[in-house]
Chains A and B, each alone.
Chain A
Amino acid sequence: MLEIVLTREDANTEFALLAEWLVADRAEVEQGQPVCVVETTKATVEVEAPGAGTIVQLYEEGVEVELGKVVARIAETAEELASLESGAEAAPPTRKPDGGERKATRKAVELAERHRVDLSAIDKRGFVTEKDVEALIARQAVDAGASERPLLAGISTERVTLPALCDSPEGDGVLEPSFLEYLLTDPASFRALGSEEKCRLLRENGASIGDGVVLGEGSLVAAPRIVLEDGVELGARATVRCEEVVAIGSLTRFGPDLELLCRRAFVGAGVWGGRSVRFGGGGHRDPWAVLAVGDLAFVGDEAFVNVCRPVLIGREVFLTMRTLIVTHNIGHSVLEGFENRFAPVVLEDRAQVGLGAVVYAGCRIGAEAIIASGSYVTADVPAGAFAIGVPAKVTGSSSHKLSPPRRAELAGRILDDLHELLALRGHEPTALEEGEPRGFEIDGVRVLFTPSFREAVPGPAVVLTLDAVAEPPEGVAVLDLVARRVLGNGGEVLEAARELCRKRGIRFEPGPWRYRGGLL
């Protein structure tokens, strides 16, 4: 075996540049054949092969090599080559870091990671910037058929369950133009009417008003198209005025002093709204002022949602007290370099926004993410994240994984809490004897917990379970706490159990549902 060594040519040089390999790695070389070019002070020299054989290069060209080092070996036999190739030294030559490969900016890479988009989908000459990724995200949202609904184009509705009413037929609830004219020109006289009278007039003039709708004292509902499903309740002094349509799903209720102003409002079923909730603000008449609130969402007291660009709120989203969502800013001239932002806000299904938190225009809160109280959200928050601070930073996950035993323990506690609460309410629940399934009895109805409901129990009974396998027999109701389903009928005791579960964050299908009072 032969070695190619970089010899020291003069006293004041310690390194030389291995400028160029003149032969390929593993090439056959002849004795005396120039194999590489080396640059040292005042000299660029060709280094010749000391003998014939297969060259094994140890350095990449373009690197500086300490003089005296072996830069390549020449294997004179196949055995020598094999032993060289199995040795650690024959690992591929040290490569210079290749700076020329990366073409996406840090901001672009981060945004792509947040939105889980593939940068290779951007076909572009030149650098890939944040703007390119934003365009890709918008394009993919459209490609995904995200929204064929006009004005929502470019907004992904992935993981956003919009209320069914968004697709209610255009002909539904169209108000007589003359009646709309009356509502808009003399709202005071309409406000002065009683709830039943208001519902009757609206219905007679084309609005679609369901059974049991309650329009509070002093309230006004005015829009070219009005759909209020069964059991909708709007509190005293509510003002609902939409430029095109307002549609509110069954059993949705808002407390007093609701203000709902925008171009098109679709509020799902079973939404619970507190007092002094406001939707609207600057730009609420804009063509893009579209509001969608998913089924079972919660909107706390004094929450304010600015709607001048689409605001999509998914199913079971919590906007707690004084949540503030804005879709535009206000300020100085964009031509002087000030930001001038108009952008939609999306809260994916089951996202939660804490007390007094602010969500800035253009942000998307991922499914089941939690924004801590008082936070200021200026960037997208990924699904399942817990974000806190000003500006909000992701610090962890919004939930943690439960082991099956722990889950069973927590579910059992719901049964115990129900038992205790019923007792505190002055009822007389009595504990059953030790055994499976465990539980108590109240008013002749047994309330039981079993991790898996497989075999029929004698009725009447209400069974809490984590896994409803069997169909309940007559007289037995089953609450599947994991699949969140109610099976069978169970009267007042079932209603009480369902209400307690609601307070633990468990909402059941079929819904929407509202506790009408009773044992609790």
Chain B
Amino acid sequence: MTVSREKRCVQVLNEALHELFAARDDVHLLGEDVLDPYGGAFKVTQGLSDAYPGRVLTTPISEASLFGVAAGMALRGRRPILEIMFGDFIALGFDQIVNGIAKFREMYDDQVTVPLVVRTPMGGRRGYGPTHSQSLEKLLLGVPNVVVVALGECHDLEGLLVAAVEDDRPVFLIENKLMYGRPNRRPEDGHVGELAVRETGSPYPALTFSGTDFTEASATIVTYGGMLPVALDAVTELILEHEVFCEVVALSQLLPLDLEPVLESVARTGALVTAEEGTLTGGFGAEIAARMQELAWGDLRAPVRRVAARDGIIPSARALEDAMLPSAEDVVEAVAALEGVRS
């Protein structure tokens, strides 16, 4: 059989959900088309409704009411997991998120919590067109009191899911459509492939990758989610073709932003590139660049560079979509363009 040694991410998430449901009676799952035998558009919830009938609720196509129902369950002490079939549709729930879910705890003076988990896949590169391919998590980054966690293919997916369910704050788990089908490449013996990896100890850990075992390097690339394999490809190309070594910091917790692992890496490398699949303006990279120039001005020998999607609408045609979204080549070019990169 040609199945990879590592489990595919979708399988890891599916098994993690099954274990969570077995371990906790207060966990529920709500979403569109999540009932078996269909088991959800991306099959993350497969088998769950058969195993736990009554705790898996399939809902009408109305994300606004979905968010409202889930928020109510959370307020009443349940641990609902909300599956939004495509990340693009969180826009429909934004009033619930911004004016309700994020604010209840403070407005009611800590008498309530909203332990809600929203799981949703973002990202393009599948030819799904303008309204099914976006990376909209940046819209959440300015919302106070919510947690945004991005899953990358090298992270402990089960650990992140469990941490999100156990978190008393509302947590958005940003998944990725391409990641589902890819193997969950967890570090083995401190390495993923030829790259050495360090993992922080927080509930939503960051991974730092190094081709030199954390000695000398030319730049740090900070990224997350679906851009992780793109950044790793870029780093591998830079090493193999140019002997330019970069570290990659793959954050999982995007909000509240914890830049400690980025600061640590930049102290070694002296330069930073941000890489995200969302559009450039007002994005993840913009926020990080602003903070890094405040926190690490003395370590940076060149301006922070951002790699992101062009500011525009994602086309359906695959060739046009590829031109729109950031590629490994874009990351390589950004590193090459850093003034003073040591090669």
Contact = CB atoms under 8 A, between A and B. Distances in A.
Given A21-B2, A25-B2, A100-B193, A42 B213 contact: no
Interface stretch (A11-19, A199-207, A243-251, A455-463): A11-19
Given A14-B127, A21-B2, 10 more contacts: A19-B8, A20-B3, A24-B1, A24-B2, A44-B40, A93-B2, A105-B241, A125-B191, A126-B212, A337-B342
Interface of A: 12-15, 17, 19-21, 23-25, 27, 37, 39, 41-44, 57, 60-62, 93, 99-100, 102-107, 125-127, 129-130, 337
B128 A102 contact: no
Nearest to B210: A126
Contacts of A21: 1-3
Contacts of B336: none
Given A125-B191, A127-B194, A337-B342, A41 B239 contact: no
Contact of A44 (B41, B240, B243): B41
A474 to B, nearest CB: 68
A19 B181 CA distance: 6
Contacts of B85: 42
B132 interface: yes
B287 to A, nearest CB: 32
B194 A125 contact: yes
B243 A129 contact: yes
B316 to A, nearest CB: 7
Contacts of B127: 13-15, 41
A310 B160 CA distance: 59
A130 B41 contact: no
B194 A37 contact: no
B241 A106 contact: yes
A12 B242 CA distance: 41
B126 interface: yes
Contacts of B239: 105, 127, 129
B112 to A, nearest CB: 35
B233 interface: yes
Interface in B127-184: 127-129, 132, 180-181
Interface string B1-19: 1110000101000000000
20 contacts: A15-B127, A19-B8, A23-B1, A25-B2, A39-B180, A39-B181, A42-B86, A42-B132, A43-B41, A44-B180, A60-B2, A62-B181, A99-B236, A100-B193, A103-B194, A104-B240, A105-B240, A105-B241, A127-B194, A127-B240
Contacts of B241: 105-106
B288 interface: no
Given A39-B42, A126-B211, A127-B211, A102 B240 contact: yes
B240 A126 contact: no
A477 to B, nearest CB: 59
A100 B182 CA distance: 14
A164 to B, nearest CB: 42
A435 to B, nearest CB: 67
B195 interface: yes
B316 A12 contact: yes
A14 B127 CA distance: 9
A99 B233 contact: yes
A171 to B, nearest CB: 49
B331 to A, nearest CB: 15
Centre residue among A15, A100, A105 by max chain B CB count within 10 A = A105
